Structure 1
Amino acid sequence: MPTSSRPAAFATAALTAGLALWTSGAPSVVYPVYGREWSLPPALTTVVFGTYPVTLLVVLGLFGGISDRIGRRAAIVLGLALMAVGTLAFALAPSIGVLLVGRALTGAGVGFALSPATAALAEYARPGRGHLAGAVATASTAAGLTVALLLGGLFLDLLPDPLHLSYWPLLGAVLVVLVLALRLPSGARSSGSAVRLLRVDPSMRGVVAQGALGVAAAYGTGGVVLALGADVAVGLLGTDSPIVIGLVLALSAVTIGVTALLARRVRAGAAAPAGALVMVAGLAALVTASAAGSLPVFLVSIVLTGVGYSLLFSAGVGIAAELAPAQHRASTVSAVYFAGYAVQAVAAIGLGQLATAHGLLPAIVAGAVVLSVLALVAGAAPFVRARRAVRTATGGNPA
């Protein structure tokens, strides 16, 4: 089979990143329907929801750098194959046991495919354009999430069996990209065990710290908007129509993607501080909308947090993918993603429990405070890193 050209390989990597978020978000819209149709208690649906991030984090922790050793193509193909089998399990699932298997397989698939796809964006970009990897990864994943939310809402309202039929378009898309991935360049390989606890090269610790802070702030806020924003939207709109709620939440994903494309040439050192300030403003607007019951302010908060997410995520992933040496690029990106997914899981599950126990507004306020602090730290990270670089270059004497 002939090898893809550089532009085709770049496009395949971008499609893989988009599919990762479509696969991740596809079941989210239909979780309430599982509970209603199969008479499942909330605790069981929570277990299914939590299986994905747990599996993903385990795979990132043990295999995050695997594509540095077996090549980008092999890791991406493995991840897409697992995503396909997991999606098929959802499409045919007769019981919650099969859902758990499907969710674990899709989590593992995303864990194997997302980091090498992001690393490949930096490697297959045109010479001198490696810094665009973060923006393209952001736009691609936002597009995948948009498709998941909109198709999920449409299928729930229009299809006779959304619990199964809604997964077939995703499965078809995964299989098409899997065929394309088989034509990717194999990529450089190195010796070593396939299973290796995720480690960061000492020279990359500052880069990973800066990237992880940005991605963690973005993913944490994204988890709050998706997990609690839907409840706020239901209360403000006076409807629980899946199409309407999907459109409202898709506004966030569309904003993320558009911002990534418009700000694609903005360097991480400028994007992170700007994203932090916009994120804080967006979280404040979310609290205000929830307390005052204002739909216009809520929509403003969706847009502002989307802009902040995009800038912080692009900066975090972009700096890791661009600056990491090729032999450590996937493990470096995986460490950044690991931090982001860990914070997202804690934010979504923890604040969900807080909302159940004490109400929606206290949970939103708590989340906004914690994530605002995290965003501001992420925004300050480029300045701290630059100052340390100056001290190192001058032997500890900035003068």
Structure 2
Amino acid sequence: MRSLDTIEWGVEHGSMTTTTITAPAVAPTRGIPHGISFWMIATVFLTQMAFCAVPTPLYAIYQQRDGFPTLVLTVIFVVYAVGVMLSLYLAGHLSDRLGRRRIILASLALNLVAAVLFLVWNDVAGLIVARFICGLGIGILTATATAHIAELGVAAGRSPLRSGIVSTFANLGGIGIGPLVAGVMATFIVQPLVAPYVLFAVLFIAEGLVVLFVPETVEQSAERFAYRPQRIAVPAAARGAYIAAAAAAFGAFAVFGTFTGLSSTFLVGLLGVRSHLLGGVVPFLVFMAAALAQIVTVRMAIRAQMMLALTAAVFGFAGLALGALAASLVLFLIGCGLAGAGVGIVFRASLGTVAGLADAARRGEALAGIFLVAYAGMTIPPLLTAAALTVWQVATVVVVIAVLMAALVVGSGWRMLREA
């Protein structure tokens, strides 16, 4: 069994590697073979991550229909991150005791409820509740699905590196695919606020039936289970490096959150573009670039990774600022892609830094703290950005955001390099 509290990482010759994971000590199953189950859980992971970002290009439709301000739209987005943080803290580690399959089924059920709410209760209050429930589902899913994929991969004879690449793409790539799917459906289908949620509701039901037959990789303990929330620990001997890594994670998710929650607002305000398809393309570029950059650089030394990441981030934020000032869609999109690639690598480096700082017994607790700080980056910066949009022009806000985020990401990344 691979415990979420003791996920083992290693730092070898300056690059991040995962330690060997032993095969799950569970009885053979008559269900789906481990090799096929590996891809099924990866698909379930990707589908749910895609669903969490489906509303991104649809926010403009809700806003135009109901007439609520950008600040309310941002609250609808931010409440999702609050749900993720709460779920991570209260239940993100429970699959170590209750089993991976059971928690993944619970996440599917929560996201199915969210999809139904989007269909039947789609005013502002309903959107807030649906987004919060979706956040609860994603909070219990991410670590559980990542561990399940790794364990199924070992049982099927796959390398930990390959499992990590698949998990990375399912996570970040899924968040990128969701808005693109919704943007395409909003552009070419008559009922854009119905069809995407029906599609994902059907997928969740089908996937739930499949997960019932996927092998469990956690050996059930006969010991009585005493519940406690996820513990969080900061390595006392390396607080400076930990704070730098936390700041980098916060900055990375601030980029993700701001351009996921407000991409349509930026496109309309900067370029006068009211394309739902482009509203899905912007977050697709950011998250897909982040996923692919993490995958491509996985074997690079950490110093080389960070130098590449910081360079990409600087040029990306510069492209965003220039695109805003020149009202250039091409520059804006290039900036999104480069910034996404840069902060994607920085975020992974922050996890690797913390994993290398913490003792093995406290590593899961240290990483939990980083994830909570990261998701805080999806709450405060987007809210401040939305508030700024009520006072300043969109171009001014984008330039200021680009400068501040560049300073945060580059400053924290450079501090991590110095502390490494």
* More moved, 295-304 vs 126-135: 126-135
2:218 corresponds to: 187
| 1:28 and 2:56 matched | yes
Equivalent of 1:199 in 202, 214, 232? 232
Pick closer, same or farther for the CA change 1:374–1:128 going to 2, 3 Å. farther
Pick closer, same or farther for the CA change 1:381–1:9 going to 2, 3 Å. farther
Identity among equivalent pairs (%): 24
Shift in Å, 1:125? 4.2
Shift in Å, 1:288? 1.9
Shift in Å, 1:299? 2.7
* Residue aligned with 2:128, SS: helix
Shift in Å, 1:85? 1.5
Shift in Å, 1:106? 0.8
Pick closer, same or farther for the CA change 1:265–1:109 going to 2, 3 Å. same
| Aligned residue identity for 1:169 | L
Alignment partners' CA distance in 1, 2:366 and 2:211: 22
Pick closer, same or farther for the CA change 1:50–1:79 going to 2, 3 Å. same
Alignment partners' CA distance in 2, 1:297 and 1:93: 38
List gaps (5 residues or longer) in structure 2.
1-28
2:21 corresponds to: none
Q: Judge conservation of contact 1:269–1:315 (CA < 8 Å) in 2.
A: no
Q: How does 1:280-295 map to 2 (within 5 A)?
A: 280-295=314-329
* More moved, 226-235 vs 280-289: 226-235
Q: How does 1:1-399 map to 2 (within 5 A)?
A: 2=30, 4-40=32-68, 44-93=72-121, 95-126=123-154, 129-131=159-161, 135-182=165-212, 183-188=214-219, 192-200=225-233, 202=235, 212-234=246-268, 237-266=271-300, 268-317=302-351, 331=365, 333-380=367-414, 382-386=416-420
Shift in Å, 1:112? 0.9
TM-score when normalising by structure 1:
0.81
Pick closer, same or farther for the CA change 1:16–1:223 going to 2, 3 Å. same
Shift in Å, 1:208? 6.5
Alignment partners' CA distance in 1, 2:237 and 2:179: 36
| Aligned residue identity for 2:320 | L
Pick closer, same or farther for the CA change 1:74–1:205 going to 2, 3 Å. farther
Q: Deviations over 1:148-170 (max 9, x none)?
A: 22222222233332222221112
| Aligned residue identity for 2:232 | R
Greater helix fraction, Structure 1 or Structure 2: 1
Pick closer, same or farther for the CA change 1:245–1:367 going to 2, 3 Å. same
1:389 corresponds to: none
* More moved, 304-313 vs 197-206: 197-206
Shift in Å, 1:328? 6.6
Pick closer, same or farther for the CA change 1:302–1:36 going to 2, 3 Å. closer
RMSD: 3.5
Alignment partners' CA distance in 2, 1:130 and 1:253: 23
| Aligned residue identity for 1:303 | G
Shift in Å, 1:58? 1.5
TM-score when normalising by structure 2:
0.78
Alignment partners' CA distance in 2, 1:41 and 1:231: 11
Alignment partners' CA distance in 2, 1:381 and 1:299: 29
Shift in Å, 1:351? 1.3
